[in-house]
Amino acid sequence: MTLRFYDTASAEVRDFVPLEAGKASVYYCGATVQGMPHVGHVRSAIAFDQLTRWLEYRGLRVTVVRNVTDIDDKILAKSAQSFGPDWAEEPSAKAEEEWWALAYRYEQEFEQAYDVLGVSRPTYEPRATGHIPEMHALIQRLIDRGHAYPALGDSGDVYFDVRSWSKYGSLTRQNIDDMQGASDADPRGKRDPRDFALWKGFKNGEPTTASWVSPWGTGRPGWHLECSAMATKYLGQQFDIHGGGLDLRFPHHENEMAQSQAAGDDFANFWLHNGMVTYEGEKMSKSVGNTVSPEEMLELASPRVVRYYLGQAQYRSILDYRPTSLQEAAAAVERIYGFVAKASKKFGGDFAAHPESSPVPDAFAAAMDDDLNVPQALGALHETVRAGNTALASGDDAGVQQALQAVMAMTSVLGLNDVRGEVQENSETAQALEVLVEAQLQARAEARANKDWAASDAIRDTLAAAGIAVEDGADGASWSLKKD
pLDDT in tens, 151-193: 988 889 999 999 999 999 999 999 999 887 544 445 568 899 9
- Stated length of the chain: 484
Whether 92 shows a pLDDT value over 60: the answer reads no
Its CATH architecture, for the domain 4-275, is: 3-Layer(aba) Sandwich (3.40)
> What was the pLDDT predicted at 128?
97
- How far CA 206 is from CA of 125, 156, 209, in Å, comes to 27, 14, 9
> What was the pLDDT predicted at 179?
87
Residue 471: pLDDT band (50, 70, 90) is confident
Whether 130 shows a pLDDT value over 90: the answer reads yes
Q: What is the mean pLDDT of residues 363-375?
A: 98
Q: Give Cβ neighbours of residue 280 (< 8 Å, ≥ 6 apart).
A: 290, 320, 321, 322
Cα 285 → chain centroid: 20
Mean pLDDT lowest for which of 9-23, 177-191, 310-324? Answer: 177-191
Percent of the chain with pLDDT over 70: 88
Residue 371: pLDDT band (50, 70, 90) is very high
Residue 459: pLDDT band (50, 70, 90) is confident
Whether 27 shows a pLDDT value over 80: the answer reads yes
Q: Do the bridges between strand 148-150 and strand 267-274 make them parallel or antiparallel, or are there none, so unpaired? A: unpaired
Residue 443: pLDDT band (50, 70, 90) is confident
> What was the pLDDT predicted at 152?
85
Residue 429: pLDDT band (50, 70, 90) is low
> What was the pLDDT predicted at 348?
67
Whether 424 shows a pLDDT value over 50: the answer reads no
Whether 146 shows a pLDDT value over 90: the answer reads yes
Q: What is the mean pLDDT of residues 285-309?
A: 91
> What was the pLDDT predicted at 437?
76
Burial 126-139 (b: 16+ CB within 10 A, else e): bbbbebbebbbebb
Q: What is the pLDDT of residues 258-289, one digit of tens each?
A: 999 999 999 999 999 999 999 999 988 777 88
Measure the CA–CA gap between 98 and 28, rounded to whole angstroms: 27
> What was the pLDDT predicted at 53?
98
- How far CA 318 is from CA of 63, 148, 274, 276, in Å, comes to 27, 37, 8, 5
Cβ-based neighbour number of residue 392 at 10 Å: 23
Whether 432 shows a pLDDT value over 90: the answer reads no
Residue 394: pLDDT band (50, 70, 90) is very high
| Strand ranges in 18-151 using DSSP code E only, listed in sequence order | 23-28, 61-66, 148-150
Q: What is the pLDDT of residues 322-359, one digit of tens each?
A: 999 999 999 999 999 999 999 988 876 555 566 666 89
Q: What is the pLDDT of residues 206-263, one digit of tens each?
A: 999 999 999 999 999 999 999 999 999 999 999 999 999 999 999 999 999 999 999 9
> What was the pLDDT predicted at 453?
86
DSSP-assigned states of every residue in 247-276: GGIIIIIHHHHHHHHHTT--EEEEEEEEPP
125: burial class by Cβ within 10 Å (0-12, 13-18, 19+)?
middle
Measure the CA–CA gap between 400 and 49, rounded to whole angstroms: 29
Whether 143 shows a pLDDT value over 60: the answer reads yes
Residue ranges of the chain assigned to CATH 3.40.50.620 = 4-275
- pTM for this prediction: 0.86
Percent of the chain with pLDDT over 90: 73
Residue ranges of the chain assigned to CATH 1.10.730.10 = 282-413
Q: What is the mean pLDDT of residues 426-442?
A: 65
Residue 90: pLDDT band (50, 70, 90) is low
Measure the CA–CA gap between 159 and 164, rounded to whole angstroms: 12
Measure the CA–CA gap between 336 and 408, rounded to whole angstroms: 10
> What was the pLDDT predicted at 182?
41
Residue 95: pLDDT band (50, 70, 90) is low
Measure the CA–CA gap between 387 and 132, rounded to whole angstroms: 56
CATH class of this structure's domain 282-413? mainly alpha
Whether 83 shows a pLDDT value over 80: the answer reads no
Q: What is the pLDDT of residues 47-75, one digit of tens each?
A: 999 999 999 999 999 999 999 999 999 99
Whether 431 shows a pLDDT value over 60: the answer reads no
